Structure 1
Amino acid sequence: MEELAREAGITVRTVRFYRERGLIQPPRREGRIAWYDDHHLARLRTIAALLERGHTLTGIADLATAFESGRDVGEVLGLGEPTEETPVRLSPEELADYFEGGATAENLAASLALGYLATDGDEIVHTSRRLLEVSAALVREGVPLAVILETAREVRAHADALAELFGAVLTAHTTAADSAKLRPLAKSIVEAEFSMALDRRLRADAGPQRS
């Protein structure tokens, strides 16, 4: 414990306090010797970084609980299934920086449930750089992360329905090789229709224009 505290730049008393609060896992014991490893050190450094960013110990404990209950990255990404999205590896403090005050235990749990986030050792993996960047941009514009995630849940349902629709068409009328080649065309149709739908909605929300 003394070696761990020295490496982390904190006191033994603080390490012991974090253990009692469940913020770090118990050490591996061999007789009377307690062994701490790099995972304990990484957790202590994460705690220090999150405290510097204004998180409370209670909030950090909630984040840790949500993080530890998350699915492994291999399970989320399907161990090699093809995808056009680029995963992003983040430390917990880097994730907190992306979303500022929105990095709460509730939002982390929602992101894990949606499969946007997964765990890989001491790292967090976001399954889509595009979604990460867009979500962070929306948060910077004042949209609460909780609202973004709730909207994403509904979007996911509609996206699954569209994928099922186009999947059935492609399966019925093309070969497997052609399906991969025609995938961009299906995406273009969806993008164009969504763009026109947004135009119609924005015009309706604006109401009749006075001359």
Structure 2
Amino acid sequence: MEELAKEAGITVRTLRFYRERKLIPPPRREGRIAWYDEHHLARLRTIAALLERGHTLSGIADLATAFESGRDVGALLGLSASEPPSWSEEEPVRLTPEQLADYFEGEATAENLAAALDLGYLATDGDKIIHISRRLLDVSAALVGQGVPLADVLAAGHRIREHTEALTELFTELIHAHLPDTGFGEAMSQLRPLAKDVVAAELSMSMDRRVRAEAEGSRSEGG
């Protein structure tokens, strides 16, 4: 314990307090000897970094609980932590908890972390967090930067997931109906760029219609 505290730059009393608050996992014991390792040191450094970012110890404890209950990244990706499925276009991002806090300053709460884990955006890999998609991570951070609360971004993600699953089902039906002799993975690879173009164009036109409708509604109210 003394060695760990010295390495982390804290007092033994502070370390004991963190243990009592369950901010760090218990040590491995061999008889009367308690062994701490690099994982304990990484957690202490994370605690220090999150405290510097304005998180409270209570909030950090909640984050730790949510983090430790997260799904393993291997189960999420279906492969190793560093290797996304060969059919995926998404690039996973490996983050420390404090790096995640920097992406969403003030909004990386236990509730939001749990929601992201439940949605499948995040998974855990040892002392690191894996975000399933760099594109989604960057877009989510940009929305938060525009003033949209992260909780609302994640709630929208749930709703978008429902619609995109329905779209995928539609294209799956087309494959089974019209490309039965082509392997499903190959057929989906062929249709993927076409499907993305169709969805992007339809979404763009839908937004155009909404802008016109809002503008007409404003003129009606003003006139």
TM-score normalised by the chain length of structure 1? 0.96
Looking at structure 2, the residues matched to 205 and 167 of structure 1 have their Cα atoms a distance apart, in angstroms, of: 35
- What per-residue deviation string (whole Å, max 9, x for no partner) do you get for residues 5-44 of structure 1? 0110100001000000000011111111000011100000
Deviates more, 1:30-39 or 1:77-86: 77-86
Q: Does 1:202 align with 2:211?
A: yes
Checking the alignment, whether the CA contact within 8 Å between 1:171 and 1:179 is kept in structure 2 is no
Once the 2 structures are TM-superposed, how far is the Cα of residue 186 of structure 1 from its aligned partner? 1.2
Matched, 1:48 2:68: no
User: Does residue 142 in structure 1 map to residue 147 in structure 2?
Assistant: yes
| Structure-1 residue corresponding to 2:110 | 105
Give 5+ residue unaligned stretches, structure 2. none
Q: Percent identity?
A: 71
1:186 aligns to 2:195 (yes or no) = yes
Give the whole-Å Cα distance in 2 for the aligned partners of 1:204 and 1:68: 47
Q: CA deviation at 1:189?
A: 0.6
Distance 1:114 1:179 in 2: 23
Aligned to 1:132: 137
Q: Which residue of 2 aligns with 1:65?
A: 65
Q: Deviations over 1:125-144 (max 9, x none)?
A: 00000010011011111110
Partner-residue secondary structure (3-state), 2:130: strand
Whichever residue aligns with residue 140 of structure 1, its letter is G
What number of residue pairs does the alignment pair up? Answer: 211
Match of 2:170 in 1: 165
Residue of structure 1 equivalent to 2:7: 7
Residue by residue, what CA displacement relative to the aligned partner does 1:48-69 show, whole Å, maximum 9, x if unpaired?
A: 0000000000000000000000
Which residue type is aligned with residue 110 of structure 1?
A
Q: Report the CA distance between 1:167 and its aligned residue.
A: 1.1
1:179 Cα offset (Å): 3.2
State whether residues 67 and 108 of structure 1, in contact with CA within 8 Å, keep that contact through their aligned partners in structure 2: yes
Deviation of 1:206 (Å):
2.2
The one-letter code sitting in structure 1 at the alignment partner of 2:173 is A
Task: Give SS of 2:104's match.
Answer: helix
Point out 4+ residue stretches in structure 1 off by more than 3 angstroms: 208-211
Q: Which moved more, 1:144-153 or 1:163-172?
A: 163-172
Q: Distance in 2 between matches of 1:179 and 1:39?
A: 41
C-alpha RMSD of the superposition:
1.3
In the alignment, residue 194 of structure 2 is paired with which amino acid? Answer: L
